[in-house]
């Protein structure tokens, strides 16, 4: 077994494995659940075997090519960035599958749910390892289809409308992005990312590609579908926000605008303003929102701006902070949404004006929720502090202290709306009864909370990895 084996099966295990879930479900539901968890776990384990090969490679990457037809090849680009993102997504995805055992135990359509979740994870694996623009687009669209089915999981007419909205906005962005890819092909006569390193592209192509990225990563004004997606099960919203969907856009930005293309100067001036304005608007909206999951969704819109900003800086510390942000935000936001699932299960409510005083009935959920918000805010020694600090330091190094100050202001607003949320739900006057979730559900959220802390305490482990990823990304643009 060698590098091609581990790379190919990182994609094939979830993509092909998802097809087997309906078959396994014919034997028993418990076997189906265990099989889904096994597929997610294997998907996490396989990329670990790629790490020695990548770091032992002279140029920090391994490129695998499989000829299909004509000059069109299936290309796998394996480097520190693709491995890191695949590990984060698959690990959080596996925890979400485990949590789902109890969370959706009494729901209909469970077989379709597990099928789509594993296929969703597979689409992310395919996208992060794709070294070809067309295959990147293909997996991009598979993710949209999976999210559409999962957002409309409960099948209520109002839910289907919002699922359709999410699909149409992200599909619109993807089609526009494809126009940008076609423009790039017209200039370079290739879809191979490795053959286009340091190639300058037109402002129009950048605009088209950014529309796709911003629609998928819910950046203002293409963000409205994400808060509406809160009608999905909390496990699905956790996948959307923490593990897969919104991370696709920022990953594509890093891969295309850090690793591959040279972006025209005017866009280097515009992008930080766009992403920080989006973050500011979302943070302001979160301050006045009363639905738990909508507050958390708006928080995601706001925090995603930091990841874009880190990659925009094209400095080692800024880009490393952006990569690290994917992990730290993923752990904490997954914990927050899964805590929201426990609250909704335990009380039947999501409006913070109808909640309060849940600490006594949900002590472990309260502690987990609090730890995760500390990481999202950026309080040391939680992991979120280091990623946010590195992004802002990179912004100053890139010569934009005004944008860095805006980032600090947004961090203050983040603390305001998250502490407001915590106080309204867990402290204050008791307005409703609520009981703790199952031991499995509580165990998963507590694990995510602990990992958010440990990721900060032992920051050197992930820090060295993301610095290596940043150095490799920027190498071709010197």
Q: pLDDT tens digits, residue range 282-317?
A: 999 999 999 999 999 999 999 999 999 999 999 999
The pair of three-digit structure tokens given for residue 225, joined into one six-digit string? 């579908």
Q: What is the pLDDT of residue 293?
A: 92
The pair of three-digit structure tokens given for residue 370, joined into one six-digit string? 């609090």
Residue found under tokens 């409960």: 154
Q: Above pLDDT 90, what percent of the chain?
A: 71
Q: Mind listing the pLDDT tens digit for each residue in 153-194?
A: 888 898 899 999 999 999 999 999 999 999 999 888 889 898
Mapping DSSP to helix (H, G, I), strand (E, B) and coil, where does residue 76 land? Answer: strand
d(CA 163, CA 186): 35
Q: What is the pLDDT of residue 71?
A: 62
Neighbours of 58 (CB within 10 A): 5
Q: What is the 3-state secondary structure (H, E, C) of 255-302?
A: HHHHHHEECCHHHHHHHHHHHHHHHHHHHHHHHHCCEHHHHHHHHHHH
Q: What is the pLDDT of residue 92?
A: 95
Mapping DSSP to helix (H, G, I), strand (E, B) and coil, where does residue 63 land? Answer: strand
Q: What is the pLDDT of residue 215?
A: 92
Nearest Cα residue to 237 out of 277, 309, 291:
291
Q: Which parts of the chain have pLDDT scores under 50?
A: none
Output the DSSP codes for 102-167.
HHTTT-S-HHHHHHHHHHHHHHHHHHHHB-BHHHHHHHHHHHHHHHHHHHTTT--HHHHHHHHHHH
The pair of three-digit structure tokens given for residue 425, joined into one six-digit string? 């739900």
- β-strands 72-79, 199-200: how paired? unpaired
d(CA 322, CA 217): 14
Q: What is the pLDDT of residue 463?
A: 87
Q: Is there a cis peptide before residue 187, judged by omega within 30 degrees of 0?
A: no
Q: Mind listing the pLDDT tens digit for each residue in 61-88?
A: 899 998 887 667 899 999 999 999 999 9
């Amino acid at each position: 077994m060698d590098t091609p084996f581990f790379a190919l099966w990182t994609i094939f295990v979830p993509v092909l494995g998802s097809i087997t879930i309906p078959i396994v479900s014919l034997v028993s539901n418990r076997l189906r659940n265990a099989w889904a968890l096994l597929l997610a776990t294997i998907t996490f384990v396989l990329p670990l075997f790629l790490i020695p090969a990548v770091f032992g490679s002279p140029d920090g990457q391994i490129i695998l090519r499989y000829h299909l037809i004509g000059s069109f090849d299936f290309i796998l680009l394996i480097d520190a960035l693709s491995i890191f993102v695949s590990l984060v997504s698959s690990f959080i995805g596996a925890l979400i599958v485990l949590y789902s055992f109890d969370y959706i135990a009494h729901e209909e359509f469970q077989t379709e749910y597990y099928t789509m979740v594993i296929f969703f994870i597979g689409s992310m694996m395919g996208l992060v390892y794709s070294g070809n623009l067309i295959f990147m687009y293909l997996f991009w669209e598979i993710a949209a289809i999976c999210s559409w089915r999962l957002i409309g999981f409960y099948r209520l007419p109002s839910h289907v409308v919002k699922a359709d909205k999410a699909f149409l906005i992200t599909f619109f962005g993807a089609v526009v992005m494809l126009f940008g890819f076609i423009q790039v092909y017209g200039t370079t006569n290739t879809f191979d990312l490795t053959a286009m390193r340091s190639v300058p592209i037109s402002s129009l192509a950048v605009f088209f590609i950014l529309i796709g990225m911003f629609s998928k990563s819910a950046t203002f004004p293409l963000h409205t579908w994400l808060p509406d997606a809160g009608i999905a099960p909390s496990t699905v919203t956790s996948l959307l926000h923490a593990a897969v969907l919104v991370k696709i856009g920022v990953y594509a930005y890093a891969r295309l605008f850090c690793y591959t293309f040279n972006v025209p100067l005017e866009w280097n001036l515009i992008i930080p303003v766009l992403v920080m304005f989006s973050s500011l608007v979302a943070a302001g909206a979160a301050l006045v929102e009363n639905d738990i999951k909508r507050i958390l969704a708006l928080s995601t819109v706001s925090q995603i701006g930091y990841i874009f900003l880190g990659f925009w800086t094209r400095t080692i510390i800024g880009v490393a902070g952006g990569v690290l942000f994917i992990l730290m935000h993923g752990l904490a936001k997954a914990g927050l949404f899964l805590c929201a699932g426990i609250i909704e299960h335990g009380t039947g409510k999501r409006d913070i004006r109808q909640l309060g005083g849940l600490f006594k009935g949900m002590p472990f959920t309260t502690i987990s929720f609090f730890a995760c918000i500390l990481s999202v805010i950026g309080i040391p020694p939680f992991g979120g502090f280091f990623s946010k600090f590195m992004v802002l330091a990179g912004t100053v190094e890139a010569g934009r202290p005004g944008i860095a100050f805006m980032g600090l202001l947004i961090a203050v607003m983040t603390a305001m709306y998250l502490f407001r949320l915590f106080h309204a739900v867990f402290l204050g006057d008791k307005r409703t009864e609520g009981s703790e979730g199952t031991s499995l559900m509580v165990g998963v959220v507590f694990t995510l909370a602990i990992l958010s802390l440990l990721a900060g305490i032992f920051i050197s482990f992930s820090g060295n990895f993301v610095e290596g990823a940043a150095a490799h990304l920027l190498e071709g643009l010197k």
